[in-house]
């Protein structure tokens, strides 16, 4: 290939002849020039030349701008080779491995929660962290291996020699360790972790694109399994990815054919033990596969945008149930989950929902919208307008899964929420874990200080209930009081509670 390429490149004489003609005719020339540097390397430069003429129209001088093409091929933030370079080297490595039966390993290193750093601390801090992360990786990865930055918070490492499990394991371990060291280059000490996906050629893939896609899949799995982990690509992962794709198809039918339903989980007031609210939770019973967890299908629905239509259905079901429940318990409220994708959607759909609410005669305050900390972090004009719409109609807001994200207290005040839901992860450690106890106490105290009520999620034991009651937590939800159940069953409980039965 190199011979034919060389034949396409012009001789210096030809290039200068071109340049002269163009400058005379158009006053401008642009092109690429290769030359040899002092240390013997061939370097390519992009060159632009313009003529400058004096008042008499005579050429007085030329202005030349040169840019090293090789530096354009480096990532601007980290100085590491860019995606383009990685693609080239990966293609080369895969080609060599095909020819010589030598293995290639590709590691994709993704920083966990990096987006939160960018969003909460700004892009400048984000860049500093990326640069440092890149430097740490470069210190580990030595020639002939390549480390490149391939996207927002992702790096890739190509290993072409000593591709044996022990070496790759050690390399992945070392990367994880290096990236979990605190980042002290910014005004704030940051603790980050990374997740690594590994795929091999020829074992897992036979083309660069397949290798990239499989290493990426493995990295997603590492993130899903708790982060700060390295995972090798497996064929089971591939099967699951395919299943996910088929779920996306099936979900479309599920909405049309009414396979989705909404169940209600009681929320009790800790001081009285009475059910004063419920949380509406989606259920999908697949005709062949049986029940599929919302944790599995909600992300798929978000990706395809179907979550918007699904959200409409949840809202309508919630109103219908509330109308019946309030005949038994006039103060009954329902909280329902709203995906960030819904909240980022323009207003029309939300207006439709609020019209439905007005028609029902149910007061807006009987509805609580559950959003996650991520929504607070990603606020924009659309989300703010939507929140304002619901607020104007009297709806209340709760922060779901509080404590698991990266949000700061100031966000709570900015969005002016009514409830904080302590995530099950902290409740499950009660009453024994001193750390979880301190966290729950702090969340309750802080929320009360801001005038917010607290709902604890996932209470399974009486000890957990007692510990939270002692902290003056306001509401509780969990298997101890009731699993998510068909709406009719909650109505029966409400009737029992109100002493009518």
- Whether residue 221 contacts residue 237, with contact meaning beta carbons closer than 8 Å, is answered with yes
Q: How many Å apart are CA 362 and CA 323, to the nearest integer? A: 7
Q: Smallest distance from the beta carbon of 314 to ligand C2E, in angstroms?
A: 4
Residue 294 within binding range of Mg ion, rule CB under 5 A: no
Q: What are phi and psi of 363, to 5 degrees?
A: -70, 145
Q: Smallest distance from the beta carbon of 266 to ligand C2E, in angstroms?
A: 10
Which position has the token pair 């020339």? 29
| Binding-site partner at residue 343 among ligand C2E, Mg ion, none, CB < 5 to 8 Å by type | none
The pattern of x and - marking residues 443 through 462 that bind Mg ion according to CB under 5 A reads --------------x-----
Q: Smallest distance from the beta carbon of 195 to Mg ion, in angstroms?
A: 23
Q: Which helix (H) or strand (E) holds 49?
A: strand 42-53
Q: What is the CA radius of gyration of the chain?
A: 30
Identified binder of Mg ion from the candidate list 337, 372, 383, 396, rule CB under 5 A:
337
Q: Smallest distance from the beta carbon of 131 to Mg ion, in angstroms?
A: 36
- Whether residue 198 contacts residue 107, with contact meaning beta carbons closer than 8 Å, is answered with yes
Of 419, 348, 439, 358, nearest in space to 392 by CA: 358
Q: Which is nearer to ligand C2E, 136 or 465 (CB)?
A: 465
Residues 364-383 that bind Mg ion (CB under 5 A): 370
Q: Smallest distance from the beta carbon of 161 to ligand C2E, in angstroms?
A: 45
| Binding-site partner at residue 314 among Mg ion, ligand C2E, none, CB < 5 to 8 Å by type | ligand C2E
Interface with Mg ion by CB under 5 A: which range of 60-68, 150-158, 330-338, 479-487? 330-338
Q: Smallest distance from the beta carbon of 400 to Mg ion, in angstroms?
A: 4
Q: Which is nearer to Mg ion, 370 or 436 (CB)?
A: 370
Which position has the token pair 């899949």? 217
- Whether residue 399 contacts residue 376, with contact meaning beta carbons closer than 8 Å, is answered with yes
| Binding-site partner at residue 484 among Mg ion, ligand C2E, none, CB < 5 to 8 Å by type | ligand C2E
Q: Is 209 helix (H, G, I), strand (E, B) or coil?
A: helix
Q: How many Å apart are CA 168 and CA 160, to the nearest integer? A: 11
Q: Smallest distance from the beta carbon of 412 to ligand C2E, in angstroms?
A: 18
Name the site residues for ligand C2E (rule: CB under 6 A): 265, 281-282, 293-295, 298, 314, 336-339, 370, 400-401, 424, 457-460, 477-479, 484
| Binding-site partner at residue 498 among Mg ion, ligand C2E, none, CB < 5 to 8 Å by type | none
- Whether residue 399 contacts residue 423, with contact meaning beta carbons closer than 8 Å, is answered with no
For ligand C2E, the nearest residue by Cβ is: 478
Q: Which is nearer to Mg ion, 248 or 425 (CB)?
A: 425
Q: Smallest distance from the beta carbon of 73 to ligand C2E, in angstroms?
A: 42
Q: Which is nearer to Mg ion, 116 or 373 (CB)?
A: 373
CA angle, residues 223, 375, 421, in degrees to nearest 5? 85
- Whether residue 16 contacts residue 29, with contact meaning beta carbons closer than 8 Å, is answered with no
Strand-by-strand arrangement of the 230-232 sheet: 146-151, 154-159, 104-111, 194-201, 230-232
Question: Which is it for the CA torsion 130, 132, 138, 140, positive or negative?
Answer: negative
Interface with Mg ion by CB under 5 A: which range of 3-11, 224-232, 261-269, 393-401? 393-401
Q: Which is nearer to ligand C2E, 154 or 474 (CB)?
A: 474
Dig out the tokens for 162 from the structure.
Answer: 């000593």
Q: How many Å apart are CA 149 and CA 111, to the nearest integer? A: 11
Dig out the tokens for 14 from the structure.
Answer: 């030809």
| Binding-site partner at residue 434 among Mg ion, ligand C2E, none, CB < 5 to 8 Å by type | none
Which residues in this chain contact Mg ion in the complex, by CB under 5 A? Answer: 337, 370, 400-401, 457
């Amino acid at each position: 290939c190199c011979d034919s390429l060389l034949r396409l490149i012009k001789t210096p004489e030809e290039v200068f002849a071109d340049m002269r003609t163009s400058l005379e005719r158009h006053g401008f020339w642009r092109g690429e020039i290769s030359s040899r540097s002092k240390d013997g390397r061939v370097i390519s430069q992009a060159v632009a030349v313009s003529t400058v003429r004096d008042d008499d129209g005579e050429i007085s001088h030329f202005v030349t701008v040169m840019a090293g093409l090789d530096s354009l091929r480096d990532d601007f933030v980290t100085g590491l080779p860019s995606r383009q370079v990685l693609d080239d080297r990966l293609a080369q490595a895969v080609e060599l491995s095909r020819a010589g039966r030598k293995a290639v390993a590709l590691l994709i290193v993704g920083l966990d929660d990096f987006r939160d750093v960018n969003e909460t601390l700004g892009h400048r801090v984000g860049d500093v962290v990326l640069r440092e992360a890149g430097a740490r990786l470069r210190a580990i990865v030595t020639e002939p291996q390549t480390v490149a930055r391939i996207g927002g918070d992702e790096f890739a490492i190509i290993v072409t020699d000593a591709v044996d499990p022990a070496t790759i394991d050690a390399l992945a371990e070392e990367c994880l360790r290096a990236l979990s060291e605190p980042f002290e280059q910014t005004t704030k000490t940051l603790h980050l972790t990374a997740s690594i996906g590994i795929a091999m050629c020829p074992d897992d893939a036979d083309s660069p694109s397949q290798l990239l896609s499989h290493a990426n899949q493995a990295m997603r799995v590492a993130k899903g399994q708790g982060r700060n982990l390295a995972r090798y690509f497996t064929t089971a992962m591939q099967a699951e990815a395919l299943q996910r794709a088929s779920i996306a198809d099936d979900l479309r039918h599920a909405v049309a054919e009414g396979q989705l339903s909404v169940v209600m989980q009681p929320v009790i007031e800790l001081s009285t033990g009475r059910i004063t609210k419920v949380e509406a939770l989606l259920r999908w019973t697949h005709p062949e596969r049986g029940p599929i967890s919302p944790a599995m299908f909600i992300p798929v629905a978000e990706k395809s945008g179907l979550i918007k239509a699904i959200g409409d259905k949840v809202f309508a079901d919630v109103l219908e149930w509330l109308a019946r429940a309030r005949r038994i318990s006039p103060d009954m409220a329902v909280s329902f989950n709203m995906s960030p994708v819904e909240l980022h959607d323009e207003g029309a759909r939300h207006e439709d929902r609020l019209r439905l609410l007005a028609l029902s005669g149910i007061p807006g305050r009987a509805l609580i919208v559950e959003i996650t900390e991520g929504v607070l972090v990603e606020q924009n004009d659309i989300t703010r307008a939507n929140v304002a719409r619901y607020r104007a109609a009297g709806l209340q807001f709760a922060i779901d899964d509080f404590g698991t994200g990266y949000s700061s207290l100031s966000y709570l005040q900015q969005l002016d929420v009514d409830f904080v839901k302590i995530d099950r992860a902290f409740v499950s450690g009660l009453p024994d874990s001193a750390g979880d106890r301190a966290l729950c106490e702090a969340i309750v105290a802080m929320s009360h200080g801001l005038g917010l009520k607290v709902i604890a999620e996932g209470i399974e034991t009486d000890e957990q209930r007692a510990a939270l009651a002692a902290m003056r937590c306001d509401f509780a939800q969990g298997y101890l009081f009731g699993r998510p159940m068909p709406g009719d069953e909650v109505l029966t409980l409400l009737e029992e509670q109100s002493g009518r039965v």
